[in-house]
Amino acid sequence: MKLDVCFTPNDFNAEKYSGYYAVVIDVLRATTSIATACANGCQCIMPVSSVEEARAIKLQNPDVLLAGEREGLLISGFNLGNSPYEYSREQVAGKTIVMTTTNGTVALNKAATAPKVYTMSFANASAIIYVLQQAKKDVVFVCAGSDGKFSLEDTLCAGLAVEQLHHITELSDTAMAVQAMYRDFSGNLPNRVLQSSHAAYLCRIGFENDIALCLQQDMLDVAPVFAAGVIAL
């Protein structure tokens, strides 16, 4: 089992990672919200890259929920923002959610060529690690990052997976780096992540409570899979 890590979606290359399973990580907050929506019984989530695409789908399918964010905030006319607190059972059970976020849904669509694409966050880390361990395939973790740049929280979540997986035959340089970072920071993860630029931004716009929620490990026993344009269990 070879493990590799892309620090940003731009580092993902379909040819280079041909045959690898992909695991997309956007801890703050897209993949935490996706895990929450799946755990609360949504029918599926369609991750799209643009607001226009989401609105066009809603025009054809009025029953879908539009969800996501730009600059962390609710998009005009959308039903849900990107706070995991909004993806309650009352809101999402049985619903199709069309989601567009700044980095997370972009990363998902970039990684879509992989034979299997999972979405991971701290909230569903063990569920994902379990399925990867069973599959014994090569894995590339694709961190959503922030506007094309490295982000600490996604990297640490990848580090947790690298640390916990067994039967590894090869670790890339980035996989070794995320493992070392995770080992160094894991004793004080919440404080470290609070110092990250996206966490600081979310605090400034009033989503401080989301950060604590997004850092709670293994609240959700779900392994969402992205296939044929939809994320489902």
Q: Does 29 bind ligand MLT (CB under 6 A)?
A: yes
Contact 114, 22 (CB under 8 A): yes
22-30, 50-58, 120-128, 222-230 -> range binding ligand MLT (CB under 6 A): 22-30
Q: Which is nearer to ligand MLT, 8 or 103 (CB)?
A: 103
Phi, psi of 162 (to 5 degrees): -60, -40
User: C-beta of 29: minimal distance to ligand MLT in Å?
Assistant: 4
Residue 3 or 231 with smaller CB distance to ligand MLT: 231
CB 81 within 8 A of CB 73: yes
Return the number of the residue (55 or 137) whose C-beta is nearest ligand MLT. 55
CA dist., res. 26 & res. 89, Å (int): 21
Nearer to ligand MLT, 82 or 119 (CB): 82
Looking at residues 188 to 227 of the shown chain, list those that interact with ligand MLT (rule: CB under 6 A): 202
Give every CB contact of residue 183 below 8 A, 6+ residues apart in sequence. Answer: 159, 163
Beta-carbon-side half-sphere exposure of residue 122 (alpha carbons within 13 Å): 24
Strand-pair partners of 46 = 98
Q: How many CA atoms lie within 13 A of 100 on its CB side?
A: 18
Of 40 and 101, which CB lies nearer to ligand MLT in the complex structure? 101
Contacting ligand MLT (CB under 6 A), which of 9, 47, 72, 84? 72
Q: Is residue 30 at the binding interface for ligand MLT, with CB under 6 A as the rule? A: yes
Transcribe 145-182 into DSSP letters: -BTTB--HHHHHHHHHHHHH--S-SEE-HHHHHHHHHH
Q: Which of residues 76-95 bind ligand MLT (CB under 6 A)?
A: 82
By CB under 6 A, name the one of 28, 39, 111, 211 that touches ligand MLT.
Answer: 28
Minimum CB distance to ligand MLT, residue 104 (Å): 3
3-state secondary structure of 63: coil
Residues 107-166 that bind ligand MLT (CB under 6 A): 144
User: Interface with ligand MLT by CB under 6 A: which residues?
Assistant: 26, 28-30, 69, 72, 82, 101-104, 144, 202
